[in-house]
Amino acid sequence: MTKVFSCDILVSEETVAGLTHEFPMQREKPHTLKGYAKPVTVYQLL
């Protein structure tokens, strides 16, 4: 998926929720991923 967004690092919504520090991120629209029943929201690390 990093090729789709032209970036090096993407993190899931669950990972962002578990962070103890804030990082500059941009929320992307949900995408359907192989192996997941529902679309997954990802964040791009800026």
33, 5 Cβ separation under 8 angstroms: no
pLDDT at 15: 94
Which pLDDT score is estimated for 24? 96
Domain limits of the chain?
2-45
Ramachandran sector of residue 6 (left: φ over 0; alpha: ψ -120 to 50; beta: rest): left
Q: What is the pTM of this model?
A: 0.80
In tens, the pLDDT along 4-38 reads 888 999 999 999 999 999 999 999 999 998 898 99
Interatomic CA distance for residues 14 and 32, integer angstroms: 16
